[in-house]
Structure 1
């Protein structure tokens, strides 16, 4: 994967408002904002073509990015991205500053591995039903993983993998589990295969004969 997707050039934007943002988009630019830390929020402008290429990569959303803002490098995370309702266009991006030595909160995608060899699927013909596809975690910037693996190799039919069953990387903590008892979320369940539909009449032991006239 090219490191270019984690490095974006940006410029400080002084012309603000909806009209200014609309004019920016017409010139192939994307309005954005950078906030967090002890510094004031800064309005930015980024190149749309480079941003649209970068956002195709899953890691773009869970990786510490480097924004080159008029020659000054700032580390940040994507916190929100707004898109056009039907066109392949990004209309606005929120970035949060990443401060070295300070823990951050963000979402990390889950990668489900070994589903094809899980006994509940390979042997018993079940299927995996995913309840959660990403986890909210807290960690130092240096410990932030691009994704977290959920190993399905030993999961049986009818078994559910919970949040507490996942082995988190060193230095990474689950925000949900930190809330205490009752927050051990179900992550994925191997459900039994669906059989052919059974006619209601058959289920009752047969169909009634038409009454004689």
Structure 2
């Protein structure tokens, strides 16, 4: 029977580590996201397939669609967290997952793990008002509240390991090369038939006139 610690299949975790040690190529993953502008500052991100463990995974158990927007003070309508808030969300989730997995591997039972994150951002950078102000966060603070069957030193070690092993913590604390390109999306071609076809308002007037003729 599988042994679960903190909801983690410890035997499965060990087997995964062992398999990757034997075949390092299984460690290569490609995660993907797409985004579509909706209106104003609102856009929508979708997460579907990914590549990992040597194969493509085209389906997910649930549909993953996330709206991003800005608060009204930044000309948005609060349709969702703004992108920099999503950064805090990703960081909090990745640190927590890393901490919980390491605790499970060490056999440390966790009763609760909570975190609060806060980031300092000066929008003068984004608004191009001051070249000396960076566009992104100047500082991020993370505060954990942890209830565990462990000593203070063991909990401190969990928090340290979470920072050392978290992919998102690595992303936000080190520069990552990002390549951006673009293509022009072809505009809808209007056929000669479309050009000759009357619009809705014109068609409505024509219908009313025909009805009047037959009245």
After TM superposition, the score normalised by the length of structure 2 is: 0.22
Query: Considering only CA atoms, is the larger Rg found in Structure 1 or Structure 2?
Result: 2
TM-score (norm 1): 0.22
From the two aligned structures, give the one with the greater helix fraction: 2
Bigger strand share = 1
